[in-house]
Amino acid sequence: MKPLLILGTGLAGYTLAREFRKLDQTRPLVLVTADDGSAYAKPNLSNALATDRSAEALVQSDAAGMATQLQARVLTRYRVIAINTEARQVHVAPIDDLRDDIREDIREDIRQGTQKDAACATHAPVEIIDYAQLVLALGAEPLRLPIAGNAADHIRSVNDLEDYRAFRDALSRCTAPARVAILGGGLIGCEFANDLAIAGHAVQVIDIAPQALGRLLPSDLPGAVRGPAQALQQALQQTGVQWHLGRSLKTIQHSATASTLELQLDNGDSLEADLVLSAVGLAPRTALAASAGLQIGRGIVTNQCLQTSARHVYALGDCAEVNGMLLPYVMPIMHGARALAATLASYQDTNDSVQAQSVHYPPMPVSVKTPALPITVCSPAMGSAGAWVAASTANADTNAIEAHFLSPEGKLLGFALTGTACSRRSALVRALVLLPGDALSSSDVRSGCSGPG
């Protein structure tokens, strides 16, 4: 029996494997990852410094433990060389033994249909894995801004456990308190700013937007003394965070003694930092899927059953573009994993088909882990007609703000909460009005999930 093959052991890959094993305990299961296969909660990376947690302390299980738990084969430190969707094969090799020129040679041979034995032809330890179904859980890469200067390659990002380990080690080598400049005042940037400030470091946040959480929170809130973004900025400022909003980083240079980094903003202001952390966003990993001939948009394009343009190939998590949507949060992965596991577990060898399950995304509020001022946001659907209004103004003692996004008819389509007002989350979720198309169907469907698998 050919296995279910999952590429990636992040939140999406391991969650899907767990959900699949609840439904099917016998089918062979193989997971392939470029890292060490440790299972950990990625959201913890942006709030672990204040509690001085090491990378090892964040690990919930190593790859061997996950292999036992999932009754699976977990290949760690392996690189996927190529995917052949016609033959239903994936070519992989240990990272340490594989040169880039060999990888490209094999890909070209597979594209040309001339590669019969990759291992013999290249002398590389290539393994060919036949699959019944393939899931791409490849995640996303940090965006890199085009910044000039001889220290541009010293801009760091924290996108996985190894990044966190390296960043924490770099902090430990700085004279305390470390001066950290954060590029980006979005969700991850604000969480890191709060975490670093609590840990005792001097933090400056640079963002081209005029406010914090510019993509999540309303810029204007009629009827309120201040909006939730302004409340967050003030709360973080009280922890020592300095803001440079409406500004961008122009150049980053090593100082004359190479002991610090010199940053110049677009308005001519100069800053000094020991470390620069980029948190300007993520881009879905699509190169591997594109090389396999899959349809690519902003991410790997899937229908509402998470099926890609190739039969028996699916995508889940930050790499996937589901019916035109990128959903780089935890809850969409959890909902998607459950629906996709049901599809995969329904696979029948006899007729090589599945009963496709579509994924349903209910209202999924986003919680911003900023202890200085907790925030919960449930954004209205893109393009919704309406406006933000204040349901309550900030109380001096609690910083509780409740903002509603109302349709022209006065229906609740979204909300933003700060401080103790976050306790209203469940009640407001129940009060939300879903417009047609806001949520994808969770039924056992054929529409939007065409094809047998």
pLDDT digits (tens, 9 = 90+) for 384-416: 999 999 987 666 556 899 999 999 999 999 999
Whether the per-residue pLDDT at 209 is higher than 90: the answer is yes
Query: Which single residue is written with the structure tokens 């879903």?
Result: 434
pLDDT computed for residue 8 by the predictor = 98
Scanning 24-53, the segments in alpha helix (DSSP H) are: none
* pLDDT, the chain, mean: 90
Q: Are 51 and 128 part of one and the same domain?
A: yes
Whether the per-residue pLDDT at 237 is higher than 70: the answer is yes
Q: Are 8 and 114 part of one and the same domain?
A: yes
Whether the per-residue pLDDT at 189 is higher than 80: the answer is yes
Q: What is the mean pLDDT of residues 214-226?
A: 85
Question: Is residue 116 domain-resident?
Answer: yes
Q: Are 275 and 290 part of one and the same domain?
A: no
Question: Among 261, 280, 299, which residue terminates a domain?
Answer: 280
Query: Which single residue is written with the structure tokens 């009005």?
Result: 433
Q: How confident is the model at residue 222 (pLDDT cuts 50, 70, 90)?
A: confident
**Parent domain of 299:** 4-140+283-345
CA distance 207 to 282: 16
- The predicted model scores a pTM of 0.90
Q: Are 114 and 152 part of one and the same domain?
A: no
The count of domains in the chain is 3
Whether the per-residue pLDDT at 118 is higher than 50: the answer is no
Q: What is the CATH number of the domain that holds 114?
A: 3.50.50.60
Question: Is residue 356 domain-resident?
Answer: no
**Count of other CB atoms within 10 angstroms of residue 250:** 15
Helices 11-23 & 63-70 angle (0-180, nearest 10): 20
Tokens matching residue 47:
């709030």
pLDDT computed for residue 399 by the predictor = 85
Question: Among 345, 361, 390, which residue terminates a domain?
Answer: 345
pLDDT computed for residue 119 by the predictor = 44
Whether the per-residue pLDDT at 444 is higher than 80: the answer is no
Question: Is residue 437 domain-resident?
Answer: no
Question: Is residue 299 domain-resident?
Answer: yes
Q: Are 13 and 133 part of one and the same domain?
A: yes
Q: Are 163 and 275 part of one and the same domain?
A: yes
Pick the more confident residue, 113 or 359: 359
Q: Measured between alpha carbons, how far apart are the two ends of the chain, in Å?
A: 17
Q: Are 272 and 153 part of one and the same domain?
A: yes
Q: Are 126 and 148 part of one and the same domain?
A: no
Question: Is residue 227 domain-resident?
Answer: yes
Q: How confident is the model at residue 99 (pLDDT cuts 50, 70, 90)?
A: low
Question: Is residue 442 domain-resident?
Answer: no
Question: Is residue 216 domain-resident?
Answer: yes
Q: What is the CATH number of the domain that holds 407?
A: 3.30.390.120
Please check whether residue 335 is in contact with residue 417, taking contact to mean a CB–CB distance below 8 angstroms: no
> 66 phi and psi, to 5 degrees?
-70, -35
Distance of CA 107 to the CA centre of its chain: 27
Q: Are 126 and 149 part of one and the same domain?
A: no
Q: Are 289 and 407 part of one and the same domain?
A: no
Whether the per-residue pLDDT at 451 is higher than 50: the answer is no
**Count of other CB atoms within 10 angstroms of residue 186:** 19
Q: Are 183 and 225 part of one and the same domain?
A: yes
Q: What is the mean pLDDT of residues 190-206?
A: 98
pLDDT computed for residue 449 by the predictor = 66
Q: What is the mean pLDDT of residues 74-94?
A: 97
Question: Among 250, 280, 310, which residue terminates a domain?
Answer: 280
Q: What is the mean pLDDT of residues 42-60?
A: 97
Q: Are 125 and 8 part of one and the same domain?
A: yes
pLDDT computed for residue 277 by the predictor = 98
Q: How confident is the model at residue 440 (pLDDT cuts 50, 70, 90)?
A: very low
Whether the per-residue pLDDT at 111 is higher than 80: the answer is no
Pick the more confident residue, 451 or 56: 56
Q: How confident is the model at residue 300 (pLDDT cuts 50, 70, 90)?
A: very high
Tokens matching residue 313:
């190939």
Whether the per-residue pLDDT at 288 is higher than 60: the answer is yes
| DSSP string computed for 295-313 | -BSSSEEE-TT-B-SSTTE
Burial group, residue 436, by CB count within 10 angstroms (0-12, 13-18, 19+)? exposed
pLDDT computed for residue 286 by the predictor = 98
Tokens matching residue 171:
């902090």
What separation in angstroms does the CA of 115 have from each of 8, 87, 110, 292, 440?
25, 12, 5, 15, 41
Question: Is residue 360 domain-resident?
Answer: no
pLDDT computed for residue 445 by the predictor = 32
The mean-pLDDT minimum among 77-86, 119-128, 129-138 falls in 119-128
Whether the per-residue pLDDT at 106 is higher than 70: the answer is no
Q: What is the mean pLDDT of residues 2-12?
A: 97
List CB contacts of 18: < 8 A, sequence separation 6 or more: 69, 70, 337
Q: What is the mean pLDDT of residues 87-93?
A: 97
